[in-house]
């Protein structure tokens, strides 16, 4: 459990519950919802996405001599995380009340249990659900009128009588007082600006709670009518999702238990026409879909390092089933629409993740089953059949045809405005392409595919030669971030105009992949420069602080936040290529463990058991973006494994 001292001043901790079906609950450590992203129950109407927020919060009041008073205002509140589940302890001079929250794992339901541990007299408690019924993507309410149908233990509530209901129930049976009105609340958005919302108040539960007794409330989208047994079954947290020795070792590692246990939150079922039993990886919570790049970045740490090879294969398979002209999805749509494929590097990260899988599992059968398909994906790139991506035969490089599509990982945009426009030949893309060719050569060799091996090694050698030569900054040991499209050819030699020598972490990615085209001298120079300008305790900055475009804080208006994302924000997932690059030229693992100790220990993490998407480049490095990001959690777990003696 983290202490408040581990967080920047004024920052609230958050908790997250997820059920493996796309449903979740997210709140803060004061027991209420204070931000627009907080909800007590979110469930997908088209699993695992198209999410709808059903319950915003549950207001809690206690009967006193002065009337009904808010529970959190009349008590001292202590919050803690017990094995991944939020627990709130309310203490006053007269009583101690515990509140536990947990989530069902096979339907969209949240349980809230109240237990009176100490008290001279029973406590009269009143609970009022605040309902949202809001589409989270469009931010529109599903209805202005609701149908409330009483049930034995509560009520079923419909925005449309033809839809599945929201089931609210309490056990044991409680007093039920109809309210049927709207209430205005104000919540803080990502910029810190208060936003007005209206919530619907259907009724109030009233219950007298005696010492040693409990009251359990269920909030469920189409949950079971008989649920008391479910509440008892889920009251005790399940053991770690992953039972392998590797997973148990990760869970025992100091500073990593909650992080390893929280990996299951990103794993969700994605039904398809071909199969109902598919597993995918969500990029993050609260509002991200399953994304190709983020899934491949997260896989090595979340699943492969934990020895969960079967689940890793399921995630690989769901993306391979949706390949289009040689590309895996950039992200799946939150609507019933085709996936988006606007990424030049997501597919290349797939090959890197597959190589990590092979290194850990030695599963030759899986490689053999997918080899022909992987080779066809490679050929689509070589024949320039990949949408928006062209293969440049004379250099062997890949480049994006349309710079306005922001196809690298630095893809921040607001409307048509690109926050980080980059030239067509990005260094990390060419390095990933070089790795893809090297990896396919290795796979071909393992499977005895001599023709494939020969062709891949020939192409890899061409890319390696041009990569090491063309991206080298003259008269230095440094590497360009990107090169422009305009090529000048002199015979068979390709000469690039001056490239962009802005110091970004993309060159670190290029020297921190399994295969590298750059020399030890270049790697050492880049590592030293990164240590001076890019390294923070929470990842690598996306731009050096001395650059005029540097944005060190990720708060404020939307344009500033989007700009900061790749112009100063520190991203935790970048520690993996940095660790690999560092260990190629230095060998001090203790130094790296100390350097990134705040990440390993979970400091500044806004959400218990998870790592944020990014952090301010400026100290004290407040978290920003998604409070639970798969690639960040995966990278920390993977780096921990890499730093073992």
Rounded alpha-carbon distances, angstroms, from residue 373 to 281, 325, 341, 367:
21, 11, 18, 10
**Residue 567 structure tokens:** 């112009």
Check residue 493 and give its pLDDT. Answer: 47
Distance CA 93, CA 118 (A): 10
Burial 40-74 (b: 16+ CB within 10 A, else e): bbbbbbebbbbbbbbbbbbbbbbeeeeeeeebbee
Distance CA 465, CA 470 (A): 8
pLDDT band at 259 (very low <50, low <70, confident <90, very high): confident
By C-alpha distance, which of 261, 270, 322, 328 is closest to 294? Answer: 328
> Given its phi and psi angles, is residue 133 left (phi above 0), alpha (psi -120 to 50 degrees) or beta?
left
pLDDT digits (tens, 9 = 90+) for 25-84: 999 998 888 899 999 999 998 777 789 999 999 999 999 888 899 998 889 999 998 878
pLDDT digits (tens, 9 = 90+) for 441-455: 999 999 999 999 999
Q: What letter would DSSP give residue 376?
A: H
Q: Is the pLDDT of residue 275 over 70?
A: no
Q: Is the pLDDT of residue 244 over 70?
A: no
Distance CA 481, CA 426 (A): 6
Distance CA 240, CA 637 (A): 15
Do the beta carbons of residue 615 and residue 564 sit within 8 Å? no
Contacts for 469 with CB less than 8 Å, ≥ 6 apart: none
Q: What letter would DSSP give residue 496?
A: P
pLDDT digits (tens, 9 = 90+) for 166-176: 999 999 989 99
- Interior angle at CA 172, CA 168 and CA 178, nearest 5: 45
**Residue 308 structure tokens:** 């969960």
Check residue 375 and give its pLDDT. Answer: 98
Distance CA 95, CA 78 (A): 14
Do the beta carbons of residue 16 and residue 265 sit within 8 Å? yes
- Interior angle at CA 293, CA 289 and CA 295, nearest 5: 60
Share of the chain above pLDDT 70, in %: 90
Q: Is the pLDDT of residue 307 over 70?
A: yes
Distance CA 406, CA 426 (A): 11
More confident site: 277 or 188: 188
Range list of H helices, 111-211:
none
pTM tops 0.75: yes
Range picked from 26-35, 419-428, 557-566 for highest mean pLDDT? 557-566
Distance CA 355, CA 361 (A): 10
Check residue 124 and give its pLDDT. Answer: 95
Share of the chain above pLDDT 90, in %: 69
Q: Is the pLDDT of residue 273 over 70?
A: no
Q: Is the pLDDT of residue 436 over 80?
A: yes
Q: Which fold has domain 4-235?
A: Beta-galactosidase; Chain A, domain 5 (2.70.98)
Distance CA 350, CA 330 (A): 11
Question: 627: helix, coil or strand?
Answer: coil
pLDDT digits (tens, 9 = 90+) for 319-348: 999 999 999 999 988 776 789 999 999 999
Distance CA 158, CA 133 (A): 9
**Residue 542 structure tokens:** 């996306």
Give ranges for CATH 2.70.98.40 in the chain. Answer: 4-235
**Residue 441 structure tokens:** 């050569």
């Amino acid at each position: 459990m983290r202490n408040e001292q581990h967080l920047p001043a004024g920052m609230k901790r958050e908790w997250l519950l997820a059920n493996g079906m796309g449903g979740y609950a997210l709140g803060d450590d004061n027991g209420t919802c204070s931000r627009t992203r907080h909800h007590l129950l979110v469930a997908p109407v088209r699993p695992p996405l198209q999410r709808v927020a059903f319950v915003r919060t549950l207001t809690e009041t206690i009967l006193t001599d002065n009337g009904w008073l808010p529970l959190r205002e009349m008590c001292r509140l202590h919050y803690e995380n017990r094995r991944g589940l939020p627990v709130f302890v309310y203490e006053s001079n007269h009583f101690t009340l515990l509140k536990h929250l947990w989530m069902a794992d096979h339907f969209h339901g949240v349980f809230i249990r109240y237990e009176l541990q100490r008290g001279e007299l029973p406590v009269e408690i009143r609970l009022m659900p605040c309902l949202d019924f809001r589409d989270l993507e469009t931010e529109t309410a599903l209805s202005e009128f609701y149908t409330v149908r009483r049930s034995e233990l509560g009520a079923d509530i419909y925005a449309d009588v033809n839809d599945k209901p929201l089931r609210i129930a309490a056990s044991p049976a409680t007093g039920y007082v109809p309210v049927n009105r709207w209430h205005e609340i104000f919540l803080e958005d990502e910029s810190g600006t208060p936003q007005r919302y209206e919530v619907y108040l259907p009724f109030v539960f009233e219950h007298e709670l005696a010492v040693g007794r409990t009251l359990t409330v269920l909030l469920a989208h189409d949950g079971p009518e008989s649920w008391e047994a479910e509440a008892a079954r889920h009251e005790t947290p399940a053991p770690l999702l992953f039972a392998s020795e590797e997973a148990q070792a990760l869970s025992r590692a100091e500073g990593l238990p909650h992080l390893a246990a929280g990996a299951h939150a990103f794993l969700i079922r994605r039904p398809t026409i071909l199969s109902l039993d598919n597993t995918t990886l969500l990029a993050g919570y609260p509002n991200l879909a399953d994304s190709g790049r983020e899934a491949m970045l997260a896989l090595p740490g979340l699943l492969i390092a934990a020895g969960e090879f079967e689940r890793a294969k399921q995630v690989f398979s769901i993306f391979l089933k949706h390949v289009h002209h040689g590309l895996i999805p950039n992200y799946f749509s939150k609507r019933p629409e085709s996936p988006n494929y606007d990424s030049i590097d997501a597919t290349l990260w797939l090959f890197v993740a597959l190589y990590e899988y092979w290194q850990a599992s030695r599963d030759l059968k899986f490689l053999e089953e997918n080899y022909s398909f992987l080779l066809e994906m490679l050929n689509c790139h070589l024949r320039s059949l990949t949408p928006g991506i062209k293969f440049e035969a004379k250099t062997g490089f890949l480049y994006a045809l349309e710079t306005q599509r922001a196809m690298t990982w630095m893809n921040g945009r607001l409307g048509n405005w690109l926050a980080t426009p980059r030239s067509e030949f990005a260094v990390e893309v060419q390095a990933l392409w070089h790795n893809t060719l090297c990896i396919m050569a290795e796979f071909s060799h393992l499977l005895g595919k001599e023709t494939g091996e020969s062709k891949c090694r020939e192409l890899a050698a061409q890319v390696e030669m041009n990569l090491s030569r063309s991206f080298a900054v003259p008269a230095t040991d440094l590497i360009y971030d990107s090169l422009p499209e305009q090529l000048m050819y002199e015979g068979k030699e390709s000469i690039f105009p001056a490239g962009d020598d802005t110091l970004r972490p993309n060159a670190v990615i290029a020297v921190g992949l399994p295969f590298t085209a750059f020399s030890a001298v270049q790697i050492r120079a880049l590592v030293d420069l990164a240590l001076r300008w890019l390294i923070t305790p929470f990842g690598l900055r996306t731009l050096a602080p001395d650059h005029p475009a540097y944005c060190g804080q990720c708060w404020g208006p939307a344009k500033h936040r989007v700009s900061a994302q790749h112009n100063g924000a520190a991203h935790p997932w970048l520690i993996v290529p940095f660790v690999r690059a560092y260990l190629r030229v230095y060998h001090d693992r203790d130094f790296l463990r100390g350097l990134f100790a705040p990440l390993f220990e979970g400091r500044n993490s806004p959400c218990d058991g998870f790592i944020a998407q990014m952090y301010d480049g400026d100290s004290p490095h407040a978290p920003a973006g998604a409070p639970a990001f798969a690639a960040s959690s995966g990278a920390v777990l993977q780096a921990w494994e890499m730093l073992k003696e």
